Structure 1
Amino acid sequence: MPNERKIHTGAIPRLGGISFAPTILFSLAFVSAISYLGYLYGLKIPQNITPHITPDFYLLTCGLIVLYLAGIKDDLIGLRYHTKFIVQILAASLLPLSGLWINDFYGLFGIYELAPWIGMPLTIFAIVFITNAINLIDGIDGLASGLSGTALLILGSLFLHQHMWSYAMLSFSTLGVLIPFFYYNVFGQAEHGRKIFMGDTGSLTLGYILAFLCISYAAYTPDISPYTTSAILISFSTLIVPMFDVIRVMLIRFRRRKSLFSPDKNHIHHKFLEIGCSPHKALLYILAISWAFSCLNIVLAPYININILFIGDIVIWTALNVCLDKIQNKKNSLKKKKII
């Protein structure tokens, strides 16, 4: 239902995310089976491009089911945030059990190989953080799905380049489920009953899968993929906009001595709306920013030190927000003069 914090009019269902996890898992299972059977019965499918489902995918499925059920309950009757956090931590803890965890910083902050007692808790924190970042950025039509789609397209291409077929398949199957949703979310008409939101079921699913893919690309596993310079920065740069935005908003709430989980209008999409952009224009601008960050980091990573590149990302993000704040202040001062 619309309220003072929402910009839509009319009641819109928020159960679009119910279709995400089942469709993605069906696609993975079906394509993997067809690929395996094709190779088994001599259809000349090279074995080196046949997707192999490793233990981390099975535990990913377990985590998805846990989050899927929690998301449905939250969308239908509500779920307290501390209960949601417990569920997220439980789901996040499953991935390190498979051996998937952040085990190398590639020189970021002068750190290279990480010990398990550091890397595993850090991985759990990263998964919970990314999952909530996708949930919190879902403030205007198409933003969460658009940013997720951008990240999935880039990550899928990176996995293809590294010949990591199963991970590429997961990336593109998740991207595929977002395309029809994006259409009905952005261009659907509520009065005709053809508009829908993804709800927490969808955002939790997307956040969990994106965290899994980013960590999979960032983890140093020479038996699966060759060494990639600055892999951790390249993979997580696909989610710079939602991650940096959540950090900035949390810092503002902390400075103002407000609850870190209290809703407000300090997200980047609120800034674009307040300077006069329409929701569609704000969406395009933010997606362009996300593309720019990812492309710059991928292109410059082989030539620039990872720490300098990371500092550059922070400087650009800070400068962007300062510019938006200045434009917003000018708009507000002009409005006050007109009123006077």
Structure 2
Amino acid sequence: MDSQLFLTVTFQGILTFLLALYLYPLLVKIGRGKNLVASFNRRSSHKDRVSVLGGFGVFFVFFVLVFVGVLHLGYGLGNTEILGLLFAGMIFFFAGFLDDALDITALRKFSFQLVGTLVFLMASKLVFEDFGGLFGLHDIPLWLSWVISIFIMQLGVNAFNLIDGVDGLAASLAAVGFGMFGVSFLLHGDHPFAIMAFAGLFAVMGFLPFNFSKRYKIFLGDSGSLFVGFLLSGFSLKYVNEVHAVNASDIAGYIVWVLTVFSYPLTDVIRVFIVRVKNGKSPFRPDRKHLHHFALDRGWKHYQITLLYISYTGILLVLQYGVLSFLNAHWGFALILVSNLLLALLPSLYGKIRPAIRMETS
């Protein structure tokens, strides 16, 4: 890292701290005053009137850090990939904010997400083109590239949106993702995207203390979870495309690495959809079938649940690094598949094992 870039990233961190100290207490006050607070229902894990304007804070801080960082280093904003990410990010934020304020229908929210995805893909041209030999697949037709890219974006965005059910979980997992992408872009010499990834990291880190706070407690809201999920999904496509441009033979390993970062959110959302369909319900109908609900119902505290799933992701990343270093991407994908399958089956296994233990001890 050159000295100018180091100073820029350091300045981003200091600026985040200063902005957060003023911004989040203000957003808590505005949220309560304008009744922009989390609604109470049977799925709620809170009892107080908590502002849902945390997403605005993350959105605002991210854009300030990006403009300061990118312009300071003289890159300008003529890069269509950067512009596509920023404009599409605004659309995702707006869709989430509408849902927070007006509780719009799932179809309308999905429509905004689709528009945002198309804006990003058409502006950036960052579509998924090559599996790099993973599953025996290589280059794929252009139409299929667009279909897969749209699916990846929607799945990633909604996965982060749906896991935002306990304090710190979505933001902490996002911090892991932003940190990984920031370092990776830096190693590839892509300083503009490294700055944006670190901006995302600092933005969620500035939010986290207030998410856990009692006096100034604030939630991401749909605006924050959709925005953060979009950024991470967009960075994923950029990451894979960047590797493709440098060395196409490395793509499979990098795809597996991205899947490892997204392991918990993807496992949770796929599991929930399967359980809902199995029970004859719409996969989009909210309930208490998420893995964090399973832990909450057994007396776990919010910070314990966040620490548990962050630890799971961290351990999986360390194991994955070893697998990809000494074996290959197929073994890496097998590691993800087995680990996430066990995670998804945890509630069922717990329901069968605990009665057996009770019978043995009684």
Taking structure 2 as the reference length, the TM-score comes to: 0.82
Write the distance in 2 (CA, Å) between the matches of 1:237 and 1:34.
33
Q: How many residues align?
A: 319
Deviation at 1:75, TM superposition (A): 0.8
Give the conservation status (yes or no) of the 8 Å contact 1:95–1:101.
no
Deviation digits for residues 184-205 of structure 1 (CA, Å, limit 9, x no counterpart): 112x11xx3x100010110111
> In the alignment, does 2:159 pair up with 1:133?
yes
% identical aligned pairs: 25
Is there any run of 5+ residues in structure 2 with no aligned partner, and where?
1-38
Deviation at 1:119, TM superposition (A): 0.7
Who is 1:267 aligned against?
290
Give the conservation status (yes or no) of the 8 Å contact 2:153–2:233.
yes
Who is 1:44 aligned against?
none
Who is 2:148 aligned against?
122
Give the aligned residue type for 2:297: E
Who is 2:225 aligned against?
203
> In the alignment, does 2:207 pair up with 1:160?
no
Deviation at 1:96, TM superposition (A): 2.4
Write the distance in 2 (CA, Å) between the matches of 1:301 and 1:115.
27
| SS class of match (2:288) | coil
Deviation digits for residues 60-83 of structure 1 (CA, Å, limit 9, x no counterpart): 122112122222211111111001
Deviation at 1:304, TM superposition (A): 2.4
> In the alignment, does 2:196 pair up with 1:170?
yes
Q: Which has the larger share of helix?
A: 2
Who is 1:33 aligned against?
71
Deviation at 1:296, TM superposition (A): 2.4
Structure 1's 77 and 226: CA in aligned 2 closer, same or farther, altered over 3 A? same
Write the distance in 1 (CA, Å) between the matches of 2:62 and 2:309.
26
Write the distance in 2 (CA, Å) between the matches of 1:167 and 1:309.
26
Write the distance in 1 (CA, Å) between the matches of 2:325 and 2:143.
30
Write the distance in 1 (CA, Å) between the matches of 2:142 and 2:42.
46
Q: 1:76 aligns with which of 76, 90, 101?
A: 101
Alignment of 1:236-247 (within 5 A): 236-247=259-270
RMSD (Å), alpha carbons: 2.3
Structure 1's 173 and 209: CA in aligned 2 closer, same or farther, altered over 3 A? same
Taking structure 1 as the reference length, the TM-score comes to: 0.87
Q: 1:5 aligns with which of 21, 24, 43?
A: 43
Is there any run of 5+ residues in structure 1 with no aligned partner, and where?
37-49
| SS class of match (2:114) | helix
Deviation digits for residues 281-324 of structure 1 (CA, Å, limit 9, x no counterpart): 11101001111222322332243232232122111122234344
Structure 1's 330 and 75: CA in aligned 2 closer, same or farther, altered over 3 A? same
Deviation at 1:52, TM superposition (A): 7.7
Write the distance in 2 (CA, Å) between the matches of 1:139 and 1:331.
25
Deviation at 1:154, TM superposition (A): 1.4
Give the aligned residue type for 2:177: A
Give the conservation status (yes or no) of the 8 Å contact 1:275–1:331.
no
Give the conservation status (yes or no) of the 8 Å contact 1:53–1:166.
no
Deviation digits for residues 227-248 of structure 1 (CA, Å, limit 9, x no counterpart): 5351111123211110121111
Write the distance in 1 (CA, Å) between the matches of 2:66 and 2:247.
24
Deviation at 1:335, TM superposition (A): 9.3
Who is 1:109 aligned against?
135
Give the conservation status (yes or no) of the 8 Å contact 2:95–2:113.
no
